[in-house]
Chains A and B, each alone.
Chain A
């Protein structure tokens, strides 16, 4: 095996080994655990960076191992994989930093960080999976490694949310398995390839392909939280803030969206999917999800619940972009995968900061919080404006490409969906921003204030990751044209999908 085939395996090992060591560590070795976590995260980023540069120069990183005759375990780094892996590895570092601060002085940290690392291992596996089998394997692993994190607090509510989460995701996984087996029965093991593999198959199978597509989409839509299979996500917000960040930005919903990307682009091929008329139903489902979830977000009075519904809506932007035939729509979908991750993680970090520092869970308690926690509130403001799609922030870039892609694909209705959703975003985010900066602070004071830092508004562990991801929201928008920016990378990847 050459070093190039070791690279994808090392990326997985960098967090898998961390996880295994952490499980073995005694509960009170906090410093060692923190150091291990950070070392794992940094090594992973370095490895992914090497692979990104390599892929940009046309190198292939592939590890292949035959599990059964006809079924291969494949890890491969292509442009698409690097997109998701880059996002997850960078956000994992920030989430780890944040989690170390967030869980300070709380019990069961060994268990938490162990599963945390496992969760990222599976995400990396999903990103690098080179065929449906490998993808499915890590997809299920992700479900199982996230559940302990969702129920981490062990309360009645957390357990109930965890139950719902399992019912949804396991059945979703079963449906996905059904689809994969069906396809395997028809055509055998199919690898992910730019432009897709299925269009070369005999035409007699095309009718079944359409059905398989629907089955795969249903299986993947559970994790992507598309209506009506979204019910688990708002409940899962009882989990600690870093887990919410993981669910909403780094791993879980992204895994669903990324799976849809893989199936549409690298299994079916966008042109083949379009010729089977599979794209517009997908787009309609996404549009319904976007609008429905935005309306539901409006009615929420709790900050994290509002953010959760906002995620449902925003992840379907990615799905909508996938359904837009044409490179511009593809770029929009891909770039939003990344931009949404950075914006939503910022918002959840902020929600966590308010909850930890001031005890704020309800939106109405946020009045005047901007003066008490200026950096957190500035980060929240950036995240909120990014979500609305205000230029020059990251959200604008993705919304712009999605809009132009919609028009180019002859689906102008999708543009109006985007505009309506932006208005709804403004309706549910601007009142929060207004409360932060323009309302006087409540006379009664904060619900439960803690002084977590002498110098800063809250503990540095919580504050600096938030600030860093917020700065990325600006940078990704303002310097969108730079080489290796999310947009440039998305353009590079999208160029490969159209012949």
Chain B
């Protein structure tokens, strides 16, 4: 009997170890790509580098498979403690991580296969495609490892490590195309992401200094009891909020998400954006204590939800419209967290809904992004399915998520919350109409030149798969307690009106704008500067910075560059630098004197003593 128990235990232990496969598979494959990169770099004109083995991109694309299998077949409650790793490493598969892991792995898998066939515009910008592909897959796999790791990792250092890995590898995906727009987006991405990491670090340090153990679930009670708890929570709110596209911290998002290659856009906007959300769920004192700034957070969430939609409809590029839609959708999810911060009693009911909504949005947004370059001609019409699901049309998963959300939020004490969220839903519908319109405009131009080949057929099939998954994947991925909430709240007829009016209003509005009126008014307005440039506030900030830089440099007409400020080219810094260097020289010139004075002082003191 002892032996059988032993085998059972070792089987359980080995099952726990399997959790590591999720982040380690992409990490090891990234190692293989490093080798490939090394081979590329040692190539000389005489000794050309061999192209990567055909299996390598396939393996990279299939890297999320172990994670997907874990999400589907892993038993909840599986956990693994690795004491020697970092400050004590903990991996947990629970309902939250399971649902998010499934969504994330599935989206990365489909997008990875898609990326294998995706060759739009890439070969034009960079002649050396082999090296370029290596860089792309390397960043892809590292970002994937980070994304999967942070979902499963539940100790502070491990979670933060994965988060940082994803952030920095994500930069490589954003700037991949090498265009000027990509470089600008990458710059702003880093300018916002690095301070974001610092906000998170300071919040984690402050919370961890009073926490009982270095695991994440020790943090919410620690923050709730801390005298500066609300301040710590605010730091973490802002830090993770940068990743989640919080209002006024969102500016990098509509620049960075669209400029990446389409499959990378899909994972950025569908999966990676949820990392900030997960961070909030894991560390904020949700359900424990109210925080005083929760009302402000709610207002911010609603500004993102409605403002994102309003700015989004003025955009022309389909992917930018989708990026603003992500801000708007994350705003809606954020409103649930803000409710949890306002009224802790509501959080237990909201928590599964947040996960549900996040999974729904991830799948739908991923499918929409893939559709931008995956479908042509009439096939594009299929995109209406995830689009309307996002808007919450009855009988879609979006409707289920929305009903579940509103049921709890009726008890929230924020005035007019339901109405404002319905307005956001109208906005979502409008955005989707705008997206389909813009997609048609841009693709009409492209359709004339493109010739269908096996590659584009594969893209179409994969997009179709993504759409299918976005429609039926939700209950399948959230099997477990999350799904119980979900089946209980499957919308009935009574909810239909509730759900339908925002969609209908959005469609009618969109139809009006898109129809006759468009050519008269909207078209003219958007053409004449009513359109808000992508990245909205950052454009103002850039202009201001350029103005300031010009003032400093007193050199009109120079374009503002980031490094100008960083390095000595900026006269202002250089002047201070010179002063300090003078001071330095003076100090070093008179070091002897300095010490003589000190020595005399010491001797005097000594004799006095």
Contacts and interface: CB of A to CB of B under 8 A. Distances in A.
Say whether A and B bind each other.
yes
Interface of A: 164, 167-168, 171-172, 174-175, 178-179, 182, 185-186, 208, 211, 215, 218, 228-229, 231-232, 235, 296, 298-299, 301, 328, 363, 370-372, 374-375, 378, 385, 389-392, 396-397, 399-400, 403-404, 407-408, 412, 415-416, 419, 422-423, 426-428, 430-431, 438, 457, 477-483, 485
A482 B202 CA distance: 26
Contacts of B603: 178
State the main secondary structure of chain A at its contact with B.
Answer: helix
User: Sorted from nearest, which 10 A-B pairs have the closest CB atoms?
Assistant: A231-B588, A171-B595, A403-B205, A391-B161, A407-B209, A392-B161, A299-B577, A481-B84, A482-B84, A374-B41
B86 A480 contact: yes
Contacts of B194: 423, 426, 430
Interface string B87-104: 111000000000000000
Given A175-B599, A479-B84, A430 B588 contact: no
A397 B209 contact: no
B592 A299 contact: no
B201 A419 contact: yes
Contact of B599 (A174, A389, A483): A174
B161 A431 contact: no
A470 to B, nearest CB: 13
Contacts of A403: 201-202, 205, 209
20 contacts: A164-B591, A167-B592, A175-B602, A211-B602, A215-B602, A218-B598, A231-B584, A231-B588, A299-B577, A390-B168, A391-B86, A391-B164, A392-B158, A392-B161, A396-B161, A397-B87, A403-B202, A415-B205, A419-B198, A423-B194
Given A185-B606, A480-B86, 10 more contacts: A175-B595, A175-B602, A178-B602, A228-B587, A231-B584, A298-B566, A396-B161, A397-B157, A407-B209, A415-B202
A431 B566 contact: yes
B393 to A, nearest CB: 43
B190 interface: yes
Contacts of A397: 86-87, 157
B85 A478 contact: yes
Nearest to A385: B168
A332 to B, nearest CB: 11
Contact of A481 (B88, B563, B566): B88
A107 B605 CA distance: 49
A408 B194 CA distance: 25
B90 to A, nearest CB: 12
A385 B194 CA distance: 12
A426 B591 CA distance: 32
A423 B194 CA distance: 7
Interface string B560-591: 00010011100001101100100011011001
A9 B553 CA distance: 61
B370 interface: no
B195 interface: yes
B37 interface: yes
Nearest to B167: A390
B158 to A, nearest CB: 8
A215 B598 CA distance: 8
Given A175-B595, A301-B568, A408-B209, A479 B198 contact: no
Contacts of A179: 602
B347 interface: no
B83 interface: yes
Contacts of A371: 40-41, 131
A71 to B, nearest CB: 19
Given A299-B574, A481-B85, A235 B602 contact: no
A171 B566 contact: no
Contacts of B609: 186, 208, 211
A427 B191 CA distance: 9
Contacts of A430: 190, 194
B8 to A, nearest CB: 28
Given A298-B566, A403-B205, A182 B131 contact: no
B157 A407 contact: no
B591 A231 contact: yes
Interface in B227-271: none
A392 B175 contact: no
A177 B435 CA distance: 76
A328 B209 CA distance: 10
Contacts of B87: 397, 400, 480-481
Q: Specify which of A185, A299, A328, A479 lies most central, judged by the most chain B CB atoms within 10 Å of its CB.
A: A299
B80 interface: no
B199 to A, nearest CB: 8
A375 B83 CA distance: 31
Interface string B185-199: 000001000110110
Contacts of B605: 211
Nearest to A388: B194
B108 interface: no
B206 A415 contact: yes
Contacts of B164: 390-391
B601 to A, nearest CB: 9
B58 interface: no
A122 to B, nearest CB: 22
Contact of A175 (B158, B576, B598): B598
B38 interface: yes
A263 B89 CA distance: 36
Given A174-B595, A481-B85, A423 B584 contact: no
B573 A298 contact: yes
Contacts of B585: 231
Nearest to B605: A211
B208 interface: yes
A301 B37 CA distance: 29
B118 interface: no
Contacts of B591: 164, 167-168, 171, 229, 231
A415 B202 CA distance: 7
Nearest to B206: A407
A208 B602 CA distance: 11
B160 interface: yes
A172 to B, nearest CB: 7
Contacts of A171: 591-592, 594-596, 599
Contact of B602 (A164, A182, A232, A396): A182
A385 B566 CA distance: 18
B217 to A, nearest CB: 18
A415 B602 CA distance: 34
B142 to A, nearest CB: 12
Contacts of B195: 423
A362 B475 CA distance: 58
A378 B34 CA distance: 10
A419 B160 CA distance: 15
A232 B202 contact: no
A178 B599 contact: yes
A378 B574 CA distance: 31
A47 to B, nearest CB: 27
B453 to A, nearest CB: 31
Contacts of B599: 171, 174-175, 178
B41 A404 contact: no
A172 B587 contact: no
A479 B85 contact: yes
Contacts of A392: 86, 157-158, 161
A196 B577 CA distance: 42
A252 B108 CA distance: 50
B573 A299 contact: yes
Contacts of A431: 563, 566-567
Given A428-B566, A431-B563, A296 B606 contact: no
B588 A232 contact: yes
Given A374-B38, A400-B157, A404-B205, A481 B602 contact: no
B200 to A, nearest CB: 11
A427 B588 contact: no
B205 A400 contact: yes
Nearest to B563: A431
